[in-house]
């Protein structure tokens, strides 16, 4: 087969691999969400201890991350001083522990489908906190888009059959803490040239999360677990659940590393619709037409937001290439002027 055929095969292979990474991430993300709901819901496995479940995940993930980085050395650790860890990683770990605690708690009170609809507010929260912390510039058109997403989620909430105020507060709190964490990653780590992939993130952040979660666990869940004499740790359930949670982090590593973060955002939209369909058809959660109409508005707002981000990224890359071309042209011009100056000096001598 000729050169053109080989190129065609390589392109097809790349496309197939990209879609495979997306499919793996969607499957694992889907599995972790449904599995957590199954464990925490009082009508299913009936183990309503979200802090304990999150601590199990963090213990398992930090142990495996340590083995991958320190024992097998598959991933290089990030060079980081103690001061940087305390000032940058610890605040991010605190926010991450609160985000996980509240988001897992919401599964006790809300349906999977409604939680996915509330998560559509994430771009709104990230943009708003970015503006407050002066990481993002205020733009009226972006704010209008954020308001349209919020309006759509409000309609979805109005049409929710199993609306629970405490569950909504928990999920909105989780969104707020997660959005703050994402903005602080840019301010405290990225701006300092520190980049953490999902494995190094778990290595540095998971033990920190575990320490923060231990404080509320002692007062909130430990007394109840201690008095529940009938409880026995189910290694099959919690072991496979933890493996799925860790595998999801590996899938994020593959997806972002082999495609882009924007691809993960788009794949996330597909995953949300699949979860809503699954929640309605299999778990038998009630999904009303008003739910879908409201989420449809929010979905269009999120899609436009991702499109705008892609266009801004393309414009930034184009500007960067122009700047590099200008610098290269300037360098070549200086070299030519230097050569001509040298030849002139030789002729004078």
Task: Say if residues 189 and 195 touch (Cβ distance below 8 Å).
Answer: yes
pLDDT higher at 266 or 23: 23
**Angle at the Cα of 204 from the Cα atoms of 200 and 207, rounded to 5 degrees:** 130
Per the structure block, which two tokens stand in for 239?
């072991």
pLDDT higher at 143 or 347: 143
18-27, 94-103, 241-250: the lowest-pLDDT one: 18-27
Q: What is the pLDDT of residue 8?
A: 64
Mean pLDDT throughout 283-296?
88
pTM of the predicted protein model: 0.81
Quick one: pLDDT band at residue 22, thresholds 50, 70, 90? confident
N- to C-terminal Cα separation, the chain: 61
Distance, in Å, from the CA atom of 237 to the CA atom of 232, rounded to the nearest integer, reads 11
Q: For residue range 195-236, what is the model confidence (pLDDT) as tens digits?
A: 888 788 889 989 999 999 999 999 999 998 888 766 678 899
Query: For the chain, what are the domain ranges?
Result: 16-323
Burial 108-139 (b: 16+ CB within 10 A, else e): bbbbbbbbbbbbbbbbbbbbbbbbeeeebeee
pLDDT higher at 331 or 59: 59
Q: What is the pLDDT of residue 316?
A: 76
Mean pLDDT throughout 88-104?
92
Quick one: pLDDT band at residue 310, thresholds 50, 70, 90? confident
Q: For residue range 159-196, what is the model confidence (pLDDT) as tens digits?
A: 888 889 999 999 999 999 988 988 888 888 777 778 88
Q: What is the pLDDT of residue 200?
A: 87
Quick one: pLDDT band at residue 1, thresholds 50, 70, 90? very low
User: Quick one: what percent of the chain has pLDDT higher than 90?
Assistant: 32
Q: What is the mean pLDDT of the chain?
A: 84
pLDDT higher at 266 or 6: 266
Write the CA distances from 165 to 3, 157, 168, 172, integer angstroms: 62, 10, 5, 11
User: Quick one: what percent of the chain has pLDDT higher than 70?
Assistant: 88
């Amino acid at each position: 087969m000729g050169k053109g055929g080989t190129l065609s095969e390589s392109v097809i292979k790349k496309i197939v691999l990209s879609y495979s990474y997306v499919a793996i991430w969607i499957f694992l993300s889907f599995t972790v969400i449904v599995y957590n709901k199954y464990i925490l819901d009082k009508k299913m496995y009936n183990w309503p201890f979200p802090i304990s479940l999150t601590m199990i995940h963090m213990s398992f993930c930090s142990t495996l991350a340590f083995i991958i980085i320190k024992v097998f050395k598959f991933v290089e650790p990030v060079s980081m001083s103690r001061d940087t860890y305390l000032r940058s990683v610890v605040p991010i770990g605190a926010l991450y522990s609160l985000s996980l605690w509240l988001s897992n708690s919401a599964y006790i009170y809300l349906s999977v489908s409604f939680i996915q609809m509330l998560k559509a507010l994430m771009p709104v929260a990230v943009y708003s906190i970015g503006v407050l912390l002066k990481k993002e510039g205020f733009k009226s058109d972006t704010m209008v888009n954020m308001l349209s997403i919020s309006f759509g989620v409000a309609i979805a909430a109005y049409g929710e059959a199993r609306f629970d105020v405490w569950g909504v507060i928990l999920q909105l709190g989780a969104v707020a803490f997660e959005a703050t964490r994402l903005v602080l990653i840019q301010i405290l780590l990225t701006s300092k040239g520190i980049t953490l992939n999902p494995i190094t993130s778990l290595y540095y952040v998971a033990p920190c999360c575990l320490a923060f979660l231990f404080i509320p666990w002692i007062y909130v869940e430990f007394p109840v677990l201690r008095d529940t004499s009938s409880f026995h740790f189910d290694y099959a359930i919690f072991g496979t659940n933890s493996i799925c949670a860790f595998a999801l982090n590996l899938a994020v590593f593959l997806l972002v590393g082999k495609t882009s973060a924007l691809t993960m955002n788009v794949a996330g939209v597909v995953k949300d619709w699949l979860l809503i369909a699954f929640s309605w058809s299999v778990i038998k959660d009630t999904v009303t037409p008003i739910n879908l109409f409201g989420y449809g508005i929010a979905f269009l707002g999120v899609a436009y937001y991702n499109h705008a981000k892609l266009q801004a990224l393309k414009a930034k890359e184009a500007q960067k290439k122009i700047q590099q071309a200008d610098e290269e042209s300037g360098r070549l011009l200086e070299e030519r002027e230097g050569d001509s100056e040298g030849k002139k000096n030789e002729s004078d001598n």
